[in-house]
Amino acid sequence: MARKKLDVTISAEGRDFGKVFRIHEMPASQAERWAIRAFLAMAKSGVDVPDDVADAGMAGLAAFGLKALSGVSFELAGPLMDEMFECVKIVPDPKKPMIERALIEDDIEEVKTRLYLRKEIFTLHTGFFSGAVPSK
């Protein structure tokens, strides 16, 4: 089965209105390393991470929630945030959806677009785990 992809069209008013971004699912090994690094960063920053949640990788992160990452120092969170956007490409012309390219700095002009895309990246990678690890 192929990795998942999600097309996101920006509907919020602003400079990014109508732009289409394609989010590609990370390979399993990369997603696992990302989740482990996220848990280690949370633990190093003093966030209390229950063992059963941390042991579950991305499933645990889904149950624990992206909000838990807010307790991580930027020094540790920055590389994780950057890696999230490696999954995102832009579809320059929505009339030609088969053409996508890597992002350049000017592709995303609104902070709210970046935040929205982060939520969608997280959902794509963890949505299939709903119910896998009970929330506490």
Within-domain flag for 134:
no
| Total-model pTM | 0.79
Report pLDDT digits (tens) over 30-42.
988 988 888 888 8
Helix (H, G, I), strand (E, B) or coil at 95: coil
Name the band, by pLDDT with cuts 50, 70 and 90, for residue 135.
Answer: very low
| Domain range enclosing 52 | 5-128
135 within some domain: no
101 contacts 24 by C-beta, under 8 angstroms = no
Find where tokens 């699912």 sit. Answer: 25
Q: Give the pLDDT confidence score for residue 39 in this predicted structure.
A: 81
Structure tokens at 113: 């677009």
Q: Which residues pair with 24 in a beta bridge?
A: 5
Q: Are 18 and 94 in contact (CB under 8 A)?
A: yes
Scanning the structure block, which residue is given the tokens 């009339």?
Answer: 95
Q: What is the pLDDT of residues 96-123, one digit of tens each?
A: 999 999 999 999 999 999 999 998 998 8
Residue 36, judged by CB atoms within 10 A of its CB (0-12, 13-18, 19+), counts as middle
Q: Convert the pLDDT of each residue in 41-69 to its tens digit.
A: 888 888 777 666 666 666 666 656 666 67
Domains: count for the chain: 1
- Residue 90 in any domain: the answer is yes
Task: Examine residue 136 and state whether it is found in any structural domain, yes or no.
Answer: no
Q: Give me the residue label for tokens 């097309």.
A: 7
Provide the Cα torsion 25, 35, 56, 66; round to 10°.
Answer: -90
Classify residue 103: in a domain, yes or no. Answer: yes
Q: With beta carbons less than 8 A apart as the criterion, state whether 12 and 113 touch.
A: yes
